[in-house]
Structure 1
Amino acid sequence: MRELLEQVLGVLAHEPVALARIVDRTGAGPRETGAAMAVTADGRVIGSLSGGCVESSIVDTAGVVLRDGVASIERFAAADELAVGLPCGGEIEVFVERLDRTALPLLHALSTALRAGQAVAYATTLESAPDRALLYADRVEPRRGLGRDAGPPRGEAAVAREPAPDRQLVYLGRIAPWRALDKDVAALLGTGRNGLIGGQDGTPAVTARPRTFVQVFRSPARLILAGANDYTRALTVAAGRLGYHVTVVDARETFTTPARFPAADAVVVDWPHRYLDTEFRAGRIDDRTVVCVLTHDPKFDVPALVTAVRLPVAFVGALGSRRAHDDRTRRLREAGLTDAETARIRSPLGLDLGAHTPDETAISILAQILADRAGATGHPLDTLDGPIHRP
């Protein structure tokens, strides 16, 4: 959507457009979720969804949506001789909605955020008459004269701001459903990935929490794994499913190869502490970054941990037994770390799940990272009171 936003804004100043986006994808597909195509009233097409597989069908749907103003959902599976479909064999779900001048304030705000390099999520309820919202990663100043109860400015749709924890929610139209969905949007924004939220079938929450597509404009949160071993390989697979951009770094060239870690986004041959320092100085480490040291070798893990705990990262963990932890803690103090600094290190790393294999251990580690990120206990839900999904 980013690549066609300015063109859509130019058209919307004069006439409505139909915006089609891939909101869900299963299996192989030509493009990722969030890929967009716009269609004007005279049939002009901006952008692409699939490189030609389904565009003609979407153009027809867009004409109906433009005429009737009712949004539509189209689903495409593997192609056969009788139906339009995807030759790659996957499945996609495409949401087609009508945009007019009332969408301009929100889309201009999105354009401004993107030009400023600001992390932002664009949320759309997948309904016949969709609601739309922006959720920023950073606080923004309220627009003067507009608030929760303010009426729309002359010639524009209402743009109100509703606070979320440490963030600011900007939405069009009615306050609902964003009070019920903003925590879910914020969770996706935190990891930097698109997703579908709400719409759980068979629960009373469907009305208050409609099915919603959240398109996130932000780089994914990073997981940096120091050490090239079987536990690292298992973590690259599992963490990738959670939306992390995973880097494996180790100074041993023989073990640190892309072939050994095909699920990693990057495989780097370097000393971990030197790599961390270089990435921080380049501005590629932030307060969402997770660092896990899995080397089991003091000459690697001690310098890496000394560097990591002094960076503004979200989480630092170190794998090993309690005996290894005690020995490592002694070495870290000898290297100059204070008690407060060593306390930042989650070690032994992982929750008590009875994990033994690398795959089981990866789940144990990621469970602790998720609990730490959410400020959750990590206790069994049946031993706790109150709502499962807490504010």
Structure 2
Amino acid sequence: MLDLIPSLGPWLPRLSDKRFAVATIVAASGSVPRPVGTSMLVTESGEVLGSLSGGCVEGAVVALAREAMDDGGPRHQVFGFSSADAFAAGLTCGGQLEIHIQPVPAAVTGEPEQPLRAAVRQLAGLRHDEPVALVRLLGASGGAAVVLPDPAKHHGPASPELAPLLHGESELRVESILRSGGAGLVPLVQAGDCLPDRDGHSRHPGGPAVLVESRLAPPRMLVFGANDFGAALVPAAKLLGYHVTLVDARPAFAGQPRFAVADQVVTDWPHRYLAAEAAAGRLDSRAVAAVLTHDPKFDLPLLEAALALDLAYVGAMGSRRSHLQRVEELLSAGVLPERIARLHSPIGLDLGATTPAEVAVSVTAELIAARSRDATCAPLRDTAGTIHHRAPAPAPTDLTPQEIAWT
């Protein structure tokens, strides 16, 4: 449901004390457009916020949500593609979605607020990029739902309501998902139950499950170079969800209004700023650096500092000749060859880019490819298999919803 945060605020009056339902993707396989955790709200009057498939199954989900609101019981439905019945609700993309629908009853004056209604209200008050997690108990009417701030620092049970249910393996899995910023479904194992092994044997379905959605603070992107290419890259990187810092040692360049779109503009020597941020613990393994200064007096000390860190991506602008010269100088400075091998230089994918805007597309495309194990960087028409690749689960949450007895 975290995907709905930017739109929840204006929707609160529509929910007020009325009934509504939350439909959430709890499992996805094959070519499906949205990941686990994606949600859609349906009001008792039929208004809809959000989308689960881009249009393929929404009508059927609304009908199920109305049924759930009428009888107060949750629903669990699998949607896939069937060529045998072209008119049935399903996914034309050929993938499969499993959707859980949780009804929320109307509020009653003088009674405690229903947990999921309270969670929606809390989420509505957050910024679109604020780190947060939502932990929900599925498969039970009126199940617990708790909002957790700053999930990267989370330790221990998610809430007093869930604490008695989470123990051992399930508690570790929930904590792992919370701290990694992912989403996943974790079965609640009770006494006498057993988890399946790696081959899927010895399955014994448990009771309800916990759906964990976690979002960390946005990853950082450091753009070094207040020039035309930096001006084009900053807004492109923000579209990918990065918290963007523009760094340049020259005040006359860094102070130009065109860089105001950056989350932060810093006037400092690039290598000095990078070292200070690393020492202060403000960079993690998701951070990326784009070196666009194209000036050896800036580039070389900066790349030496950047390649010593465990950043997700380090790219540097320049010709192939410039790159070879940089490699020689970095080797002379004592940078290990395996560290230099991590450098994306010349920066970007070969898209035939020439203008600053096109180069920005090239760089952001390489960023996406660098963080995906399955990227081939070939035209989709020339490839086969799944189109929508998902990041691997942050924890061994490899149980399927079929292994859970929904109530």
TM-score range, shorter chain: 0.5 to 0.7
Secondary structure of the structure 1 residue equivalent to 2:6: coil
Give the deviation of 1:103 after TM superposition: 3.6
Give the deviation of 1:120 after TM superposition: 4.6
* Distance in 2 of aligned mates of 1:279 and 1:239: 19
From 9, 16, 30, the equivalent of 1:62 is 16
* Distance in 2 of aligned mates of 1:225 and 1:360: 16
Contact 1:34 1:215 in 2 (8 A): no
In structure 2, the partner of 1:207 is none
* Distance in 2 of aligned mates of 1:123 and 1:258: 44
Instruction: Assess, with a 3 A threshold, how the Cα gap between structure 1 residues 133 and 371 changes in structure 2: closer, same or farther.
Output: farther
1:373 aligns with 2:371: yes
Secondary structure of the structure 1 residue equivalent to 2:244: strand
Tell which has more relative contact order, 1 or 2 (C-alpha 8 A, sep 6+).
2
* Distance in 1 of aligned mates of 2:251 and 2:321: 28
* Distance in 2 of aligned mates of 1:65 and 1:23: 21
231-240 or 166-175, which moves further after superposition? 166-175
From 327, 330, 339, the equivalent of 1:329 is 327
Give the deviation of 1:134 after TM superposition: 8.1
Secondary structure of the structure 1 residue equivalent to 2:17: helix
Contact 1:309 1:316 in 2 (8 A): yes
Secondary structure of the structure 2 residue equivalent to 1:263: coil
* Distance in 2 of aligned mates of 1:216 and 1:258: 37
* Distance in 2 of aligned mates of 1:358 and 1:332: 27
CA RMSD of aligned residues (A): 4.8
TM-score, normalising length from structure 2? 0.54
Contact 1:161 1:169 in 2 (8 A): no
Give the deviation of 1:23 after TM superposition: 6.4
* Distance in 2 of aligned mates of 1:378 and 1:254: 38
In structure 2, the partner of 1:387 is 386
Equivalent residue letter for 1:33: P
* Distance in 2 of aligned mates of 1:340 and 1:352: 23
Instruction: Assess, with a 3 A threshold, how the Cα gap between structure 1 residues 23 and 233 changes in structure 2: closer, same or farther.
Output: same
Equivalent residue letter for 1:254: A
* Distance in 1 of aligned mates of 2:172 and 2:7: 23
Equivalent residue letter for 1:300: F
In structure 2, the partner of 1:265 is 263
Instruction: Assess, with a 3 A threshold, how the Cα gap between structure 1 residues 380 and 121 changes in structure 2: closer, same or farther.
Output: farther
TM-score, normalising length from structure 1? 0.56
Secondary structure of the structure 2 residue equivalent to 1:225: strand
Equivalent residue letter for 2:220: R
Give the deviation of 1:274 after TM superposition: 0.3
In structure 1, the partner of 2:202 is none
Give the deviation of 1:377 after TM superposition: 2.5
In structure 2, the partner of 1:181 is none
In structure 1, the partner of 2:134 is 122
* Distance in 2 of aligned mates of 1:328 and 1:379: 29
Equivalent residue letter for 2:377: G
Give the deviation of 1:290 after TM superposition: 0.4
* Distance in 2 of aligned mates of 1:263 and 1:130: 43
* Distance in 1 of aligned mates of 2:146 and 2:379: 34
From 214, 231, 234, the equivalent of 1:233 is 231
Contact 1:248 1:264 in 2 (8 A): yes
Give the deviation of 1:121 after TM superposition: 3.4
Instruction: Assess, with a 3 A threshold, how the Cα gap between structure 1 residues 22 and 373 changes in structure 2: closer, same or farther.
Output: closer
* Distance in 2 of aligned mates of 1:285 and 1:159: 25
Structure 2 unmatched ranges of 5 or more: 21-40, 50-102, 158-162, 190-211, 391-407
* Distance in 2 of aligned mates of 1:123 and 1:34: 20
In structure 1, the partner of 2:204 is none
Give the % identical residues.
39
Secondary structure of the structure 2 residue equivalent to 1:239: helix
Structure 1 unmatched ranges of 5 or more: 1-20, 25-31, 36-48, 77-95, 151-157, 176-213
* Distance in 1 of aligned mates of 2:142 and 2:352: 46
1:318 aligns with 2:291: no
1:33 aligns with 2:33: no
1:244 aligns with 2:242: yes
Contact 2:154 2:175 in 1 (8 A): no
Aligned length: 270
Give the deviation of 1:173 after TM superposition: 8.6
Secondary structure of the structure 1 residue equivalent to 2:252: coil
Equivalent residue letter for 2:388: H
* Distance in 2 of aligned mates of 1:230 and 1:273: 21
CA displacement, residues 254-278 of structure 1 (integer Å, 9 cap, x when unaligned): 1111513122111111000000011
CA displacement, residues 142-164 of structure 1 (integer Å, 9 cap, x when unaligned): 867658999xxxxxxx9995987
Give the deviation of 1:33 after TM superposition: 1.0
* Distance in 1 of aligned mates of 2:146 and 2:346: 41
In structure 2, the partner of 1:91 is none
